Structure 1
Amino acid sequence: MKVVSWNVNGIRACVKKGFSDFFEQVQADIFCVQEIKCQEGQIDLSFDGYESYWNYAEKKGYSGTAVFTKKTPLSVRYGLNDLDHESEGRVLTLEFEEFFVVNCYTPNSQRDLARLSFRLAWEDELLDHLQSLDAIKPVIYCGDLNVAHEEIDIRNVKSNIGNSGFTNEERGKMTRLLDAGFIDTFRFMNPDLKDHYTWWSYMRDVRARNIGWRIDYIIISERLLSALQITAIHSEIMGSDHCPISTELEL
């Protein structure tokens, strides 16, 4: 089973830049997207053999998530527990017979860290959500998680310490998540692999020079580890300031 995740930074713009070509090429069983930046009725996007589920933000041109799946889920849940995040469309939880898929677009703590406390509360609620699901069946958790966990996950370490996405608090929340029984699939398969990133600033030549961050993840419950086969970062795929990532599991 192949799972793909991609922050498209506006699905309508990304479709004009080759989204459908990559979608058809990669042949995912489950394809999760974040930051769709559209409302219901603003795009007609469907693929033969796939069902789609959309969680739109109330604010126009902002946030939002979607999942394309070959298999019909047993249930679909929009939002996250009791926190008032449903208006931002950040989480989709799909239940299948053998596992849950959680597609997430984690809030950015913002350049001046104005939203850091909100972000940290989000992380607490998200962990509760994942653990409650994991108590029932294994979880595949993916998305733009807006944090470079370790120094190996970011090109310019010293200049970014304490910045949004690389604060001790945000990195600590990721460590806590992984310590709670979850596996970062890419880093597990590639513990020492450097210079592999999933996001680059739009500033001139930054992507060409590979000055990036690895902030997009596919994370699995530890008991799915024996099923883990392949992980990949598709940095050659353009269309967004993020690139797609994928994981294959033998289920």
Structure 2
Amino acid sequence: MKLVSWNVNGIRACVKKGFIDYFHEVNADIFCLQETKLQAGQIDLQLEGYYQYWNYAVKKGYSGTAVFTKEKPISVKYGVGDLTEEAEGRILTLEYDQFYLVNVYTPNAKRDLTRLPYRLEWEDEMRAYLKHLDLTKPVIMCGDLNVAHQQIDLKNAKSNKGNSGFTIEERGKMTGLLDEGFTDTFRHFYPEKEEAFTWWSYMATVRERNIGWRIDYFITSNRLCERLVDAYIHPQIHGSDHCPIVLELKGNVKNLS
């Protein structure tokens, strides 16, 4: 089973930059998007063989998530609990026979960290939500989580210390999640791999020089570790300031054994 996650930073713009070619080439069983930046009726993607689920933000041209899946889920949930960000279309949960898929676009703490307190509340509620789901079925969470967890996860850790996405508080929330029964799948396979990034600034030559951050993840329940085949990054794919990430597991959507 193959899953792909990609912050497309506007799906309409990304479609003009090769999204459809990549979508068909990668042939994922489940393909998750973040930051779709549109409302219902603003795009008509012809993706034969896939069910489409969109969570639109109320604000036009902002945020939003989507999931394209070959297998129809048992149920779909938009948002979670009391998170006020539900108005921003940041969370989609699809329930399958043997697992939950949670597609997430985590809010940024902002450059001046004015949104950091809310961001930390978000992290606590998301952790509680994932643990609640995990009581019933294992969880696969993916998306732009807006945090570089370790120093190895960004190019210039020293100069970015305390900046949005690399604060001690945000990194600590990720550590707390992983300590409570979840796995960062990329680090599961590549614990010491350096310069493996998923986001680059639009500043001139930054991407060419690979001055980036790894802020996009597949996080799974620990009990899925024996099913993991590989987790990897597609930095060669452009069309956004993020690149796609991929997770492969043994089995299929209906049977992970």
**Which range, TM-score by smaller chain?**
over 0.9
User: TM-score scaled to structure 1, two decimals?
Assistant: 0.99
Q: Which runs of 5+ in 2 are unaligned?
A: 251-255
Report what 1:245 is aligned to. 245
Counterpart in the other structure of 1:151: 151
By how many angstroms is 1:86 displaced?
1.4
Supply the AA of the counterpart residue of 2:65: T
TM-score, normalized by length of structure 2?
A: 0.97
| Residue equivalent to 2:194 | 194
Give unmatched runs, 5+ long, in structure 1: none
Name the counterpart of 2:131. 131
SS at match of 1:85: helix
Deviation at 1:122, TM superposition (A): 0.3
Give the corresponding residue for 1:217.
Answer: 217
Q: Is the 8 A contact 1:46 1:52 kept in 2?
A: no
- Aligned counterparts, 1:99-118, within 5 A: 99-118=99-118
Partner SS state of residue 223, structure 1: helix
Provide the rounded CA distance (Å) in 2 between the counterparts of 1:159 and 1:87: 34
Matches within 5 A, 1:41-80: 41-80=41-80
Separation of aligned partners in 1, 2:126 and 2:179: 14
* Paired residue secondary structure (1:183): strand
Q: Is the 8 A contact 1:147 1:166 kept in 2?
A: yes
Q: CA RMSD in A?
A: 0.5
Report the Cα offset of residue 64 of structure 1: 0.3
Alpha-carbon distance between aligned partners in 1 of 2:76 and 2:46, rounded to the nearest angstrom: 18
Matching residue's letter, 1:88? E
> More deviation in 31-40 or 76-85?
76-85
Map 1:80-95; keep pairs closer than 5 Å.
Answer: 80-95=80-95
Separation (CA, whole Å) in 2 of partners of 1:13 and 1:83: 29
**How much has 1:80 moved relative to structure 2?**
1.6
Q: What SS does the aligned partner of 2:126 have?
A: helix
Within 5 Å, give how 1:201-212 maps onto structure 2. 201-212=201-212
Partner AA of 2:95 in structure 1:
E
Runs of 4+ in 1 over 6 A off after TM superposition: none
Q: 2-side partners of 1:197 and 1:46: how far apart? A: 30
